[in-house]
């Protein structure tokens, strides 16, 4: 099955300045799949360009830019035990230590970029809570993320679950790129709701590091979870 309407990621939703934020892109792909999927990034997803999506014989959803495969998605069940969440005010305090304030490779990133204004970027600045072995950030979704009913659109929930995973997987701030991500949403948070987003390191092997992320409501409800694989580029 091939989707007739192309997928286009607007430039607002960049990660690096010239390609899409991986979590946002994965959320857009998951919306087309209509289920929980693992999205594997094969190339940086381009901005403001039509991408075709088609279902292959084995059920894989392929995302194409012309004849080049950008990404692929496969049905998945996310198995991830969420960590105990710090409260919102602990997350506010942790964000003061956000590494991106000192140095940021992609300061215009839609999710974690320090050069994005309120109401434009999501401004999720995850800083360390050393005694808990995780990073945490406060997040109050603004009205631009509203899907039309007062709830945050799923692709923005997916985006929120991206960047904190990098800061958990790469506490030494080494260059790493998102290789794949699996997102599962329990419920959509509301615009203006005070949320906490966390990330924590999982296993590591060679140039690959895995991380878990979660979005919590103020009462500690787990609203979304993700597991991501981050890959250090070859020198």
Q: Taking the model in full, what pTM does it have?
A: 0.95
pLDDT tens digits along 126-145 = 999 999 999 999 999 999 99
Query: Across residues 181-198, what is the average pLDDT?
Result: 98
Give the per-residue pLDDT at 3. 54
Res. 173 pLDDT band, cuts 50 70 90: confident
pLDDT tens digits along 41-93 = 999 999 999 999 999 999 999 999 999 999 999 999 999 999 999 999 999 99
| Token pair in block for residue 134 | 């995780």
Task: Give me the domains of the chain, ranges plus CATH numbers.
Answer: 11-75 (no CATH), 88-231 (3.10.129.10)
Cα dihedral sign, 36-162-65-175: negative
- pLDDT of 118 above 70: yes
Query: Across residues 177-187, what is the average pLDDT?
Result: 97
Q: Can you give the three-state secondary structure of 42-53, one letter per residue? A: CCCCCCCCCEEE
Query: Across residues 31-47, what is the average pLDDT?
Result: 95
In contact, 83 and 200? CB cutoff 8 Å: yes
């Amino acid at each position: 099955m091939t989707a007739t309407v192309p997928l286009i990621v607007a430039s607002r939703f960049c990660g690096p300045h010239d390609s899409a934020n991986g979590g946002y892109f994965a959320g857009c792909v998951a919306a087309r799949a209509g289920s929980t999927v693992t999205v594997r990034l094969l190339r940086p997803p381009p901005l403001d360009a039509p991408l075709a999506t088609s279902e292959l014989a084995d059920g894989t959803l392929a995302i194409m830019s012309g004849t080049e495969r950008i990404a692929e998605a496969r049905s998945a069940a996310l198995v991830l035990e969420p960590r105990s969440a710090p409260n919102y005010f602990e997350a506010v305090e942790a964000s003061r230590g956000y590494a991106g304030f000192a140095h940021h490779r992609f300061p215009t990133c839609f999710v974690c970029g320090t050069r994005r204004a309120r109401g434009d970027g999501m401004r999720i600045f995850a800083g360390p809570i050393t005694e808990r072995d995780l990073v945490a950030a406060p997040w109050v979704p603004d009205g631009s993320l509203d899907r039309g009913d007062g709830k945050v659109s799923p692709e923005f929930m997916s985006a929120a679950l991206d960047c904190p995973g990098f800061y958990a997987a790469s506490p030494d701030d080494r260059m790493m790129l998102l290789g794949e991500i699996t997102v599962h949403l329990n419920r959509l948070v509301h615009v203006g709701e005070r949320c906490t987003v966390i990330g924590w390191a999982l296993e590591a092997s060679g140039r690959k590091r895995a991380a878990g992320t979660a979005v919590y409501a103020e009462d500690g409800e787990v609203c979304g979870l993700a597991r991501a694989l981050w890959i250090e580029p070859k020198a």
